[in-house]
């Protein structure tokens, strides 16, 4: 078996059988940006950042890059490592190999985290319709619950690229942050600082800040919000100023927790003012953000290349969106782990828990409300177990959606301090209770229905 690690937060990560060829990425799936545009590894097995091969005796050979932009792939049975940074290699018991690699990454890139807050975020209930009133309802409704952060997600801004509030946030953003702080919580805000939507005034007025194709057109890093979005050229001083300005403004408004999303787009292949390699570019982008945010702002990276985020961000999303169903819809069929859904969020996140010694690991939200699409109570329990294992607890349930009993369960979850131990590749113990995630790695519903 081969440990195939995905490019960024939402990219599939799995132990795969090398005798089974990968499923080629369809054009439709490609449009969402989870697979690397030039290294999708859809015809040969390959891995971003780190790979391992197991010996079926509990030990593995691990090879991992000590910086961003590295890939490992198999060429006629030979392992090829390609990347600008140094490589770490070891042969050891599986968990020890990953732990030692994480240690080496921490030594080279730095360590942050260890301070994962309990977060309420607006996304998985209000989506882009979120309003100021929704946030005020969360402030009031959660005053007596143990959330540390109330975080406004996508939907507050004018457009992706134009980071000023829209008409749904008519009050001052600083007043909003103040109200959150006065309720005893840390104000949090979502931004996607490295991209501009085709409809943004940034893209319209400053096309020179965008990464270009050889024909001079803006490079498309994905499709969302009803159109294409473009990466910014971080080697352009004015793009640096745009990114730093957006972050500084959010911090000045009083937001001390920033969820920074779609970060993968920054190093998308294309023409820039200066040509630097992907790993360097990712590091430069992260440095611009950290310098603008200051050392004390909690930075959660999302849709972010994993290795380059270490030492710069406090936390990182380690899987795709949980969504409101077990399996995401994908034209690529059930083998595609890149579409949002509980299954892919579980399978990908669990295989990245080794990162926790150098960065907080966010497996995405859990649910306590009753109305959660097709998610069964047992799947909801597995998502909570995953969050406890990762030590990062977040939810999006609006206060009005929770019964008295839901609230009590939620509060117990936020305060829990369980003893966690790993008992196998896919199995854990939480306060002595065995939890087996193995069935999630099969593609069907794993009988978590009762
Ligand atoms: C806001 C959301 C939430 C969520 C993030 C991210 O098109 N796509 O493939 C796609 C993938 C992920 C995604 C949105 C779109 O979600 O993970 O928590 O912040 O953005 O837009």
pLDDT, one tens digit per residue, over 228-278 is 999 999 999 999 999 999 999 999 999 999 999 999 999 999 999 999 999
**Cα 215 to ligand 1 centroid, rounded to whole Å:** 29
Q: How far is CA 407 from CA 110, 317, 391, in A?
A: 38, 25, 20
Could you tell me the distance, in angstroms and rounded to a whole number, from the CA of residue 6 to the centre of ligand 1?
A: 16
From ligand 1's centre to the CA of 427, what distance in Å? 28
pLDDT of residue 107: 98
Mean pLDDT of 145-157: 98
Mean pLDDT of all residues in 339-362 = 96
Closest CA to 236 of 200, 202, 273: 273
Lowest average pLDDT, out of 41-55, 136-150, 325-339, goes to: 325-339
Counting from 1 in the atom list of ligand 1, the atom nearest the Cα of 302 is 17
Q: Which of 247, 207, 199 is nearest to 223 (CA)?
A: 199
Ligand 1 center from residue 321 Cα (angstroms)? 7
Statement: residue 135 has pLDDT above 80 = yes
Evaluate: CB of 195 within 6 angstroms of ligand 1. no
What does the pLDDT read at residue 337?
84
> Does 289 sit in the ligand 1 pocket, CB within 6 Å?
no
Nearest CA to ligand 1 atom 4: 321
> Residue 150's Cα: distance from chain center in Å?
18
Residue 80, pLDDT > 80, answer: yes
Residue-level pLDDT at 76: 85
The pLDDT of residue 339 is 85
Ligand 1 binding pocket includes 224 (Cβ within 6 Å) = yes
Three-state SS for the chain is: CEEECCCECCCCCEEECCCCCCCCCCHHHHCCCCCCCCCCCCCCCEEECEEEEECCCCEEEEEEECCCCCEEEEECCEEEEECCCCEEEEEEEHHHHHHHHHHHHHHHHCCCCCCCCEEEECHHHHHHHCCHHHHHHHHHHCCCCCCCEEEECCCCEEECCEEEECCCCCCCHHHHHHHHHHCCCEEEEEECCCEEECCCHHHHHCHHHECECCCCCECCCEEECCEEEEEECCCCHHHHHHHHHHHHHHHHHCCCEEEECCHHHHHCCCECCCCCCHHHHHHHHHHHHHHHHCCCCEEEECCCEHHHHCCCCCEEECCCCCCCCCCCCCCCCCCCCCCCCHHHHHHHHHCCHHHHHCCEEECCCECCCCCCCCCCHHHHHHHHHHHHHHCCEEECCCHHHCCHHHHHHHHHHHHCCCCEEECCCCEEEECCEEEECHHHHCCCCCCCCC
Residue 108 has pLDDT above 50, yes or no: yes
Q: Which atom of ligand 1 is nearest to the CA of 127?
A: 1
pLDDT band per the 50, 70, 90 thresholds, residue 332: confident
Q: Is the CB of 162 under 6 A from ligand 1?
A: no
35 lines ligand 1 (CB under 6 A): no
Question: Which ligand 1 atom sits nearest the alpha carbon of residue 259?
Answer: 19
Of the given ranges (15-29, 379-393, 394-408), which has the lowest mean pLDDT? 15-29
pLDDT-based confidence at 381, cuts 50/70/90? very high
* pLDDT, tens digit, 9 for 90 and up, residues 291-314: 999 999 999 999 999 999 999 999
C-alpha to C-alpha distances, 9 to 84, 301, 364, nearest whole angstrom = 21, 9, 11
Averaged pLDDT of the chain: 95
Of the residues 27, 261, 342, which should be mutated to test ligand 1's pocket, given the most ligand atoms within 8 Å of the CB? 261
pLDDT at 449 over 60: no
Q: Is the CB of 302 under 6 A from ligand 1?
A: yes
pLDDT of residue 450: 39
Neighbours of 218 (CB within 10 A): 19
Determine if ligand 1 sits within 6 Å of the CB of residue 336. Answer: no
d(CA 402, CA 369): 5
Residue 387: which region, alpha, beta or left (left: phi > 0; alpha: psi -120 to 50)?
alpha
Residue 22 has pLDDT above 80, yes or no: yes
* pLDDT over 80 (residue 446): no
pLDDT(84) > 70: yes
Q: 135 C-alpha vs ligand 1 centroid, how far in Å?
A: 19
- Supply the pLDDT for residue 329: 75
- CA-closest residue to ligand 1 atom 9: 32
């Amino acid at each position: 078996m081969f440990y195939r690690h995905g490019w960024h937060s939402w990219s599939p990560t799995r132990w795969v059988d090398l005798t089974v060829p990968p499923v080629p990425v369809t054009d439709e799936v490609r449009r969402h940006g989870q697979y690397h545009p030039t290294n999708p590894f859809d015809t040969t097995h390959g891995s971003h950042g780190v790979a391992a091969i197991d010996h079926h005796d509990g030990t593995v050979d691990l090879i991992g890059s000590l910086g961003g932009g590295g890939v490992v792939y198999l060429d006629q049975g030979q392992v090829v490592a390609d990347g600008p940074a140094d490589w770490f290699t070891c042969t050891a018991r599986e968990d020890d190999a990953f732990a030692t690699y994480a240690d080496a990454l921490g030594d080279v890139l730095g360590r942050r985290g260890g301070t994962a807050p309990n977060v309420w975020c607006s996304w998985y209930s209000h989506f882009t319709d979120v309003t100021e009133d929704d946030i005020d309802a969360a402030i009031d409704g959660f005053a007596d619950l143990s959330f540390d952060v109330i975080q406004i997600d996508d939907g507050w801004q004018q457009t992706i690229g134009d980071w000023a509030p829209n008409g749904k946030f008519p009050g001052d953003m600083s007043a909003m942050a103040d109200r959150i702080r006065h309720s005893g919580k840390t104000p949090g805000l979502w931004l996607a600082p490295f991209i501009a939507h085709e409809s943004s005034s940034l893209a319209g007025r400053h096309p020179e800040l965008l990464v270009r194709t050889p024909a001079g057109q803006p490079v498309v890093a994905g499709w969302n919000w009803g159109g294409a979005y473009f990466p910014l050229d971080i080697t352009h001083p004015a793009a640096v100023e745009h990114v730093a300005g957006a972050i500084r403004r959010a911090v000045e408004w009083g937001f001390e927790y920033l969820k920074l999303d779609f970060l993968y787009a920054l190093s998308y292949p294309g023409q820039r003012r200066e040509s630097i390699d992907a790993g360097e570019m990712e590091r430069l982008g992260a440095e611009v953000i950290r310098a603008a945010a200051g050392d004390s702002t909690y930075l959660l990276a999302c849709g972010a290349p994993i290795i380059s985020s270490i030492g710069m961000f406090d936390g990182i999303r380690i899987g795709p969106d949980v969504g409101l169903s077990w399996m995401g819809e994908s034209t690529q069929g059930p083998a595609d782990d890149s579409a949002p859904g509980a299954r892919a969020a579980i399978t990908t996140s669990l295989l990245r828990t080794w990162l926790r010694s150098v960065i907080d690991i966010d497996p995405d939200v859990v649910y306590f409300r009753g109305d959660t699409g097709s998610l069964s109570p047992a799947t909801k329990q597995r998502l909570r177990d995953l969050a406890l294992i990762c030590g990062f607890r977040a939810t999006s349930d609006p206060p009005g959606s929770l019964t008295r009993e839901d609230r009590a369960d939620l509060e117990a979850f936020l305060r829990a301090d369980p003893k966690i131990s790993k008992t196998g590749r896919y199995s854990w113990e939480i306060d002595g209770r065995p939890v087996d995630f193995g069935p999630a790695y099969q593609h069907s519903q794993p009988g978590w229905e009762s």
